Amino acid sequence: MEHNIAVGLDIGTTKIVAMIGRKNEYGKVEILGIGKSKSLGVHRGVVNNITQTIQSIQQAVQEAEATSEIKIEGVTVGIAGQHIRSLQHSDYITRPNSDLVIDENDIDKLINQVHKLVMLPGEEIIHVLPQEFKVDGQAEIKEPIGMYGGRLEANFHVVVGQVSSIRNVGRCVQSAGLNLEGITLEPLASANAVLSQEEKEAGVALIDIGGGTTDLAIFRDGIIRHTAVIPFGGNVITEDIKEGCSIIEKQAELLKIKFGSAWPGENKDNEIVSIPGLRGREPKEITLKNLSKIIHARVVEIVEQVYVEIKNYGHEEQKKKLIAGIVLTGGGSQLKHLKQLVEYITGMDTRIGYPNEHLAGDSDDDVTSPLYATAVGLVLDGLKRHERKRAEQIEEAKINDLKPQEIIEEKPVKERRSFLDKLTERVKDFLDNAE
C-alpha cells in the first residue's frame, strides 16, 4: 500500500466499515473506497464472538477493495465499549538540572510516570492526555517545551479500558489477515472528523450515538477534557419498539428510520402505519404517536445520561463553559427532531456533525453522512501516523547522510511514540506470542 493511503476500520455494534483514504495535494482527504458489512459478534462495542467478527471484517474489507481496486494490508482500528472509563490525575517530576530547558524527554518521563498508576485487575491505561502544565508552580502553561524550571507538573486526563477487550479486537484484525497499524479511541476519532478547531477552542461536547454505545468527548481550549462511553445506543431504541409494538427487529429498525421521531408532539392521533404480519397473520397497525412516545422515552434517558457526564466535567462553572454547545454525530444522530430534544433537555446549542471537516470538496454524499464519522476519523488518524513515520525516516536519513529516497523503503525508525502506539505494539507482541 502507498505511504499516503490509510485504511480505517470501524468495528461497531451494528456495522463494520472499512474506509480507504488518501491525502490530495491540497491537504484534504479523498475517500477512495468504502465497504460495510453487518456486524455480527459485537455487543455494546465489545467483541463477544471472534469468528463472526472476523467474517464481518473480511466482508467489509473485500467490499472496500472491490470499490477502490486497492489491496488493504494495514488498518487503524477504533476501540469503544462500555469498559472504557476516564479519570483525572496530576503528577510531577523534579528535573536533575534546571539550567537546561525542558524538552520532550521530560514530558515523556512525566507521561510514563502516569502509566505506573495502579489500575483495577484487567484494566490498562489506553490514553494519557496532558491538560495543562505547571513549571515551578507557574500554572496554566500549555506548552512547557523550551522553558527553564526544576519541577514540571501536569494534570492528565487518563482513559482506561479492559485489556482483554482490546486484545480481542487485535486478534480479530490479525485473523482477518490484516496488519494492526494503530489503535485509537473512537470518541477521539469521531471528534477529529467532525469538529472544527474553533469549536474545540471555544468548548464543545461531541456526542456520537452509535448502535451499541454513545460516546462523549469534551474539548475546551483545543484540548480534550473528558471522555465517556455510555452503554446505550440506537439498538436499545429498536429493541423498545420491537417489544412495545410486538414486531420483529427488522421491522422495528425500519419503522425507527422511516417514521421515527424523538418528539411526540408533532404526530397527529390518526397517523397509522400498517406492518405486514408474520406468515399468514393479520397486519399490525401502529400509530406514529405511540411510536414516537416509545422513542422519546428512551432518547431522553440516553441524553440525560450524557448530560450527567457533561456536568461531571464541570460545564456549570464559568471557566469551563462549553460555548460551542453540543455536536451530535453517529448513525443515531439522524433521528428526526433529535437536535430540538437535546437543546430542550440541556439548554445548549446543538448541531448535527457531518464528517466533512477534512474531506475533499467533491466527496460523495454517502461518505459525509454522520454514520461514517468514526471511520473517517480513523482514516485521518492513519494518515497522520504515516506522515509522522515518513518525517522521522527522512530525519534519520539526514543524520545518516543518505539520500532521503534511499531510506523511505528501508527500516522503520524509532519514533517518539504516543502511548497508543505502544499499546498497539504490546497488543501485537501479545498476539504474536499467543499463536
Q: What is the pLDDT of residues 254-292, one digit of tens each?
A: 999 999 999 987 767 788 999 888 888 889 899 999 999
Q: In Å, how far are 43, 49, 178, 236 from 17, measured between CA atoms?
A: 16, 18, 14, 21
CA dihedral of residues 333, 338, 340, 342 (deg, nearest 10)? -80
Which one of 3.10.20.30, 2.60.120.260, 1.10.8.80, 3.30.420.40 gives the CATH number of domain 234-298?
Answer: 3.30.420.40
Q: How far apart are CA 208 and CA 80, in angstroms?
A: 11
From first CA to last CA, the distance across the chain in angstroms is 26
* SS3 category, 116: coil
- The answer, yes or no, to whether residue 32 has pLDDT greater than 50, is yes
Helix ranges (H only) for 115-185 are 163-175
Q: How far apart are CA 150 and CA 342, in angstroms?
A: 47
Least confident piece of the model among 159-163, 244-248, 267-271, 346-350: 267-271
pLDDT tens by residue, 185-206? 899 999 999 999 999 999 999 9
pLDDT of residue 52: 95
- The answer, yes or no, to whether residue 415 has pLDDT greater than 70, is no
What average pLDDT score do residues 33-40 get? 93
If 0-12 CB within 10 Å is exposed, 13-18 middle and 19+ buried, where does residue 66 land?
exposed
pLDDT of residue 413: 40
pLDDT of residue 428: 80
In 3D space, the residue among 45, 21, 44 whose CA is nearest the CA of residue 33 turns out to be: 21
Query: Which residue's C-alpha cell is 514540571?
Result: 152
C-alpha grid cell, residue 416: 517518539
C-alpha grid cell, residue 328: 451530535
If 0-12 CB within 10 Å is exposed, 13-18 middle and 19+ buried, where does residue 406 land?
exposed
For residue 179, what is the enclosing H or E element?
Answer: strand 179-185
What average pLDDT score do residues 103-126 get? 89
Q: How far apart are CA 155 and CA 153, in angstroms?
A: 7
Look at the chain and count its residues.
435
Q: What is the mean pLDDT of the chain?
A: 88
Give the up-direction half-sphere exposure of residue 36: CA atoms within 13 A in the CB hemisphere.
Answer: 13
Q: How far apart are CA 41 and CA 240, in angstroms?
A: 21
Contacts of residues 113-117 at CB distance under 8 Å and 24 or more positions apart, as own/partner, are 114/89, 114/156, 114/158, 115/419, 117/89, 117/158
pLDDT of residue 418: 64
Q: How far apart are CA 5 and CA 71, in angstroms?
A: 11
- The answer, yes or no, to whether residue 228 has pLDDT greater than 80, is yes
pLDDT of residue 435: 60
- The answer, yes or no, to whether residue 414 has pLDDT greater than 70, is no
- Every domain of the chain and the residues it spans: 234-298
Least confident piece of the model among 66-80, 106-120, 188-202, 395-409: 395-409
Q: How far apart are CA 238 and CA 258, in angstroms?
A: 12
pLDDT of residue 281: 86
What average pLDDT score do residues 226-255 get? 92
- The answer, yes or no, to whether residue 422 has pLDDT greater than 80, is no
What average pLDDT score do residues 115-132 get? 87
Q: Measure CA 364 to chain center.
A: 21
Q: In Å, how far are 34, 68, 90, 141, 343 from 317, measured between CA atoms?
A: 43, 49, 20, 21, 19
pLDDT of residue 412: 41
The total of other beta-carbon atoms located within 10 Å of residue 52's CB is 16
- The answer, yes or no, to whether residue 326 has pLDDT greater than 90, is yes
Share of the chain above pLDDT 90, in %: 57
pLDDT tens by residue, 149-193? 999 999 999 999 998 999 999 999 999 999 999 888 899 999 999
